[in-house]
Structure 1
Amino acid sequence: MLERDFLEFINENRLFGSADRVLLAVSGGLDSMVMTHLFHQIRQPIAIAHVNFGLRGDDSDGDARFVQNKAQQYGVPFHLTHFDTVAEAHKRGISIQMVARDLRYDWFAQLVQQEGYACVATAHHQNDVLETLLLNLVRGTGLAGLHGIAIRQNNLIRPLWFATRDELEIYAQEQGLQWREDSSNAEDKYVRNRLRHHVVPVLMSMNPSLFKTLPQTIGKLRAAETLMREELERSWQNVARISDDRVLLASDALQNLTEPVFRLAEWLKPYGFSIDQTAQMWQALRHQPGQVFQSATHRITHEREGLLLTPLSESADYYLTLDRLPDEPLDVEGRFSLTFNGFEKPTDFRPPTDAATVCFDADRLHWPLTIRPWQQGDRFRPLGLNGHKLVSDLLNDQKVSRPDRERTAVLLSDNQIAWVIGRRLDHRFRVTAETKRIVQVSMQ
């Protein structure tokens, strides 16, 4: 019965082909020994991999020998590795369970690449699915966490997903299979064990058909998540204004959405923002612009039009000098480029109206010229004004966003700002009636 269900489950979910070599993750416990036996029964090409985490002394070494002997009995390739799991957990600053999981899956991935296996099979079953669902629920989760354990994740498969542990144990006894008992499974040291020993039995007493209804419940949750993702994508298209490496989430469009905080949290999760931050962003939209939220890689700035998402700028620490007019466009740290052109002043000269292009009186420029990021305290004399002005005040007046402020640079002649690049020419370097030669600079 179990063999038939096993084969039907594999075929229904198209987990692998009949000629594929499958790498089995085998601990030596009941679940993995049943899985190994089932693969042997259907004559699937397999290899066995075992990880000795060194957590139980002689028992861990005994598990490794047991699994190796079984691989020899089945006549299949055997892979073994050892880890100092405790030392690695201290080194990484995470729990032993988490580091053990990372270590074994990283090793499995290496074996797949080196040996050409089609996939890795683990012996997770319905009880594991339920325990993972409950564990995620306790820790706090969205719909994805309520799936429990997926049947397939890339090249990782769970061919026993359909079965309960009781069914596996009955089958093992019927087939006279041997396995190793992990003594730690009987302890309440780990949260998963406490769920297994104390919570699941209560749920089973409330609903004896729990494991029959669980796949249906998970199927409904997956369907609900699919619909949710489709709606999130649709509303993202309506809200997001994308330009190069920045995204503006328009406040007027956000205001018309249901559950805006949830949508923001889902949209911004890949950029490292937390649910608490997104709740604060939503509150910020009710107040004056200017508030900033930051993750490890990105920044959200509350602008007048909405929430502006940009990557964190790299350190703006550069200082370029020019001894003469460059023949080719000048790249400024990958942020923008400047094209220089010198010519005699034409009789019908008209100054450019676009702030991205300026014309200097060539005789007023003193070489070398310098290009650097603007700094707090920088002053210049804006074109058409008598007095001086702080560059910071100019940026405030022009309502320049924080990311664009960080990208703003200045061009200096004799340590005097001749141009706030792309924004305003200094009055002292303008073209006048007496100008004979012009240096024109355009920013791209």
Structure 2
Amino acid sequence: MVKLEKEVYNFLNKNIENFKDIKYLLGVSGGIDSMVLAYIFQRLQLKFGVAHINFQLRGDDSDSDEIFVKQWFDPFDIPLYFKKVNTIEYAEKNKVSIEEAARQLRYDFFEKLAYKYDYNYIVLAHHANDVIETLFINLLRGATINGLASIPKMRDNIIRPLWHVSRDEIERYTKYHNIPYRLDKTNDELIFLRNRIRHELLPLLRDMRAGVDKTLINNIDVLQAQSQCYNYLMKNYINSKINKYSDHSFSLDMSNIHTISLAVLHFLLSPLSATYDQLQNIINALPLSETRKFILPDYDVYTQKNILYVINNKTIFPELIIDKETKEIKTLIKLKIQILPIQQIKIKKSNNYAYIDLNKIIFPLKLRKIRDGDMFIPLGFHGKMKISDFLINQKASPIDKHFQYVIEDASSKIIWVVGRRISDLVKIDKNTKQVMVIELYKK
């Protein structure tokens, strides 16, 4: 067994229990890296299938890659899977880059195959040079510890046995064993950032310092371990302090974590596409007493007196109908409903109860979330008030406003701002005969 085969063997033996007895799905493009990996898997007599995805990005060359893979593996008793996708159309439809579109399509194809045909692991041929190049790509794009950790050796069911192996080692192995492969001409085009790093930056670094590749790959290995530790500790720390809500909204009291506020905010908000400047603006706004709002693609971020509120602005709140026969609601919020004669009413002084004159409402009622422009006449008032102003007077937090429901009757009259106050128009009086009692409960 030669050195490169030992590298792959040792990787599998170290990381996968009973690695000889399970099934692998290899992503094979037809390029030198994936062809070498498939060749080694054959030499090690492992059980594997080959998956090839044609991205249709290089015209006839893309089709030739597909034909090459099929012709090379056809004589062997190896399951083959092929798929052709319109990457450009997918990118435009999903508003992502071509590179990201290809990545999503690739992993979706591989993961569906692995699930359908019971492959234990998806095997990709990224090697040490890919890992180093990705480090610099991520660094230039503004990555922190997780991005600097570059491409992981393993993640869930995805493994990369060539992670420590250099491109030079792969080329020597290919030449020795006379392994055929396809060349991707775009790898030499300097319009791509990765290619400029490969052909311009890294040669310069190698001239400046001998052995820089080994130094970098070793440092990335350490960074991956540190990244895993950081994520584990940060997740546990935040989970002990955060308040989570049903639609992935959350709030966090940051009063006592000023010294690590940037780290905490980056951990929470960078996955939501917050920029560095936005994080700094949020930090500056946190101590202020007035509410400040920051807009992310799918979330609204509010700050108020050192409290961070992160609210999912894509949440769709359904509406529920309440008729005279409705006794209880358990879905959106929990309500118990009774209709009683006035003689049986014992008023409880709690905002969780609404006492409504049955003769002053029109069925069916509707339970829904508040909307911009909603108005009602609060109990004890004579004129209409915007519910948004009412909630400000109530000192409702942004998260309270996000989950605030109202009940309106068939005439679109809001009769209860749930958990806060009924409308003056539906209050019980000396002429009331029947009362609808609605209780908001949390159990």
Deviations 1:393-417 (A, max 9, x none): 4323211234434524255698876
- Aligned mate of 1:401, from 394, 397, 409: 397
- Aligned mate of 1:337, from 323, 335, 338: 335
1:154 is aligned to 156
The within-5 A match list for 1:10-21 is 10-14=12-16, 17-21=19-23
- Aligned mate of 1:252, from 233, 255, 272: 255
1:188 is aligned to 190
Q: Quick check: 1:267 aligned with 2:268?
A: yes
How much does 1:275 deviate?
4.0
Task: Specify whether residues 58 and 320 from structure 1 end up closer, same or farther in structure 2 by C-alpha distance, changes over 3 A only.
Answer: closer
- Aligned mate of 1:390, from 385, 391, 409: 385
Q: Quick check: 1:442 aligned with 2:443?
A: no
1:378 is aligned to 375
Matched-pair contact (CA < 8 Å) for 1:369–1:414: no
Report the residue type matching 1:341 in the other structure. Answer: I
Task: Specify whether residues 140 and 4 from structure 1 end up closer, same or farther in structure 2 by C-alpha distance, changes over 3 A only.
Answer: same
Counterpart-to-counterpart distance in 1, 2:434 and 2:86: 74
Task: Specify whether residues 34 and 291 from structure 1 end up closer, same or farther in structure 2 by C-alpha distance, changes over 3 A only.
Answer: same
Task: Give SS of 2:258's match.
Answer: coil
Equivalent residues, number: 434
How much does 1:268 deviate?
3.0
Q: Quick check: 1:351 aligned with 2:350?
A: no
1:34 is aligned to 36
Task: Specify whether residues 415 and 227 from structure 1 end up closer, same or farther in structure 2 by C-alpha distance, changes over 3 A only.
Answer: closer
How much does 1:365 deviate?
3.3
The within-5 A match list for 1:43-442 is 43-237=45-239, 239-242=241-244, 247-253=250-256, 256-271=257-272, 273-304=274-305, 306-312=307-313, 314=315, 322=323, 325-326=324-325, 328-329=327-328, 334-345=332-343, 351-360=347-356, 365=360, 367-368=362-363, 370-371=365-366, 376=373, 378-380=375-377, 382-383=379-380, 387-388=382-383, 390-392=385-387, 393-405=389-401, 407-410=404-407, 419-426=416-423, 430=427, 438-442=435-439
Counterpart-to-counterpart distance in 2, 1:88 and 1:431: 59
In the superposition, the TM-score normalised over structure 1's length comes to 0.83
How much does 1:221 deviate?
1.0
Matched-pair contact (CA < 8 Å) for 2:339–2:434: no
In the superposition, the TM-score normalised over structure 2's length comes to 0.83
How much does 1:342 deviate?
0.6
Matched-pair contact (CA < 8 Å) for 1:23–1:47: yes
Deviations 1:165-189 (A, max 9, x none): 1111122222233333333323323
| Structure 1 range deviating more: 47-56 or 283-292 | 47-56
Alignment root-mean-square deviation, CA: 3.4
Greater Rg by CA: 1
> Gaps spanning 5+ residues in structure 2: where?
none
Report the residue type matching 2:311 in the other structure. Answer: T
Task: Give SS of 2:20's match.
Answer: coil
Matched-pair contact (CA < 8 Å) for 1:9–1:162: no
Deviations 1:7-60 (A, max 9, x none): 122212228721223222223332223222212221112333333444444444
Report the residue type matching 1:185 in the other structure. Answer: N
Counterpart-to-counterpart distance in 2, 1:91 and 1:412: 41
Task: Specify whether residues 73 and 257 from structure 1 end up closer, same or farther in structure 2 by C-alpha distance, changes over 3 A only.
Answer: same
Matched-pair contact (CA < 8 Å) for 2:149–2:220: yes
How much does 1:367 deviate?
4.7
Deviations 1:300-359 (A, max 9, x none): 33344612233337567869575xx4351256x82452412313426xx75321122243
Matched-pair contact (CA < 8 Å) for 1:24–1:36: yes
How much does 1:419 deviate?
4.4
Task: Give SS of 2:289's match.
Answer: coil
Report the residue type matching 2:278 in the other structure. Answer: Q
